Amino acid sequence: MRRSPAASLAILIGLVLLAAWAFNMLLGKRFAGGDIYAPGSSLRADPLGAKALHDSLNRVSGVRAERNFRDLDKLKGAHDKTLLCLMVTPDAFADGEDVDGEAILRFANEGGRVVIAMQGQKSDWDTVMDSAEERREENAERRREERKKRSKKKPASEQKKQDEKEKKESPKEKEESPATDKDSEDKDDYIRPRKSLRTMLGVAVEQENFVMTPGGALELKTPMGVGVEQDTLPEWHTRTSIKIDDVAREKWKALGLLGQDVVLASRATEAGGSIILATDSYFLTNEALYREPSTRFLSWLLGPAQTVIFEETHLGTLEKPGVMTLARRHRLHGLFFGGMLLFALFVWRSSMSLVPTRDDDAPSRTVAGRGATAGLVSLLRRGIPSAQVLRRGLEVWEHGSRQRSPAMQARIDQARQHLPSTEATRVPGGALRSIYRLMCDMLNPRATTSSAAPSLPSSLSKSDNSSRSNS
């Protein structure tokens, strides 16, 4: 029995859905663990991530934790917002490619609180940071390519005209003019590179390696009167320090010391915001919250914020706007699955007809078309016995030839004598053909070659004589 196309299509759709479910489960487990993200990401659930802090803040009444996947210049600071930047490497601190220093300072100047927790370890975490470094390099290369595309180069002809115009100008005019046309065009066409945190904040970071000893992590000391209690400070896992020059010393306040080195400092802004810089990020990770949580220090660090934003772009997790991003943002999942259903129905409609197919094993009720001759033969077989076919044919032929000579009438009478009796219902096929040929020879004088009549078959003569004697 042939399989129905609908059953085959249903099996195919079932297999596709099963494969999609298995693939979704595999990706779900991978994303749930978060090991594809960089260390310090709030999407990681392993010891190197900060997912525990993110989820814990969402359970606190009146506090909402968010993740930022867009450029920092799109964030707006406020007194009830805190921005967390975890695992900022010293290289990223000194370079504006990964972290936009201007956007960070603007967020604080608008009244927000910024917490910058650095990755100060130099060699112990190099292996785990390889993936993050590669992602940072890819983002940096992408930004450079975008700047090259947006920057326009002056044509040589315009540059030559500009040089001739500058030669004709007097020195006095050059001194009075604050900027030339070339400078103004360069300002419009050339995109300035981002300024780093080091440039905007006025402090430097000196990186130094730290190896864990049997004595454990390092213990911080806090100056008197800075607002941070000694027993609330967490243990430190790096010797990387903050170098504050004389110009920035008036703005920055040391909060945590390792000997004479500053490892925790803060800066206040005129709008009521603040920036806190720490050279360690371990106390914010999942492992630290499980082993030795410093809850009082974290409460002071985040401040009176109702919204805590976890910065993810500097870790390589950047949202690229597109159709699917808008669909997820506006929750158009139902429209997507509806389109998939319509596509499946279209494929089903194209692959088979909506009219039920005929079973091949069932007997056919249709009659095949035939020609006029085949129809006449079939009609004769059903309406006239085989023994009476020649008699009926002779009657029709005699009826069609009304004007006939006496000789023709005699031949007809002679041919009628050789017909089977009217009571006979069956005549052998060979005898019936012989009678037909004999009658044709009698009725067609031009085909008659001899005057003697052909002899009849013995079987037919006997049957004819017996029928006559009975009558």
pLDDT over 90 (residue 83): yes
Give 2-61 pLDDT, tens digit per residue: 556 667 777 888 888 888 888 877 777 766 666 788 889 999 888 889 999 999 999 999
pLDDT of residue 441: 82
pTM, to two decimals: 0.55
pLDDT of residue 445: 63
Give 403-438 pLDDT, tens digit per residue: 677 888 788 888 887 777 766 667 776 787 888 888
- The residue-averaged pLDDT of 127-132 equals 54
pLDDT of residue 59: 93
pLDDT of residue 130: 61
According to the 3-state scheme, what is the secondary structure of the chain?
A: CCCCHHHHHHHHHHHHHHHHHHHHHHHHHHHHHCCCCCCCCCCCCCCCCCHHHHHHHHHCCCCEEEEECCCHHHCCCCCCEEEEEEEECHHHHHCCCCCCHHHHHHHHHCCCEEEEEECCCCCCCCCCCHHHHHHHHHHHHHHHHHHHHHCCCCCHHHHHHHHHHHHHCCHHHHHHCCCCHHHHHHHHHCCCCCCCHHHHHCEEEECCCCCCECCECECCECCCCCCCCHHHCCCECCCCEEEECCCHHHCEEEEEEECCEEEEEEEECCCCCEEEEECCCHHHCHHHHHHCCCHHHHHHHHCCCCEEEEECHHHCCCCCCCHHHHHHHCCCHHHHHHHHHHHHHHHHHHHCCCCCCCCCCCCCCCCCCCCHHHHHHHHHHHHCCHHHHHHHHHHHHHHHCCCCCHHHHHHHHHHHHCCCCCCCCCCCHHHHHHHHHHHHHHHCHHHCCCCCCCCCCHHHHHHHHHHHHHC
- The residue-averaged pLDDT of 186-190 equals 43
Tokens 């016995």 found at: 385
What percentage of the chain reaches a pLDDT higher than 90? 19
pLDDT over 70 (residue 359): no
- The residue-averaged pLDDT of 258-272 equals 89
Give 296-347 pLDDT, tens digit per residue: 899 999 998 999 999 999 888 887 767 777 777 777 778 878 888 888 888 7
pLDDT over 80 (residue 118): yes
Give 207-236 pLDDT, tens digit per residue: 876 655 556 678 888 875 556 677 778 888
Residue 252 pLDDT class (50, 70, 90 cuts): very high
Average pLDDT score, the chain: 76
Residue 375 pLDDT class (50, 70, 90 cuts): confident
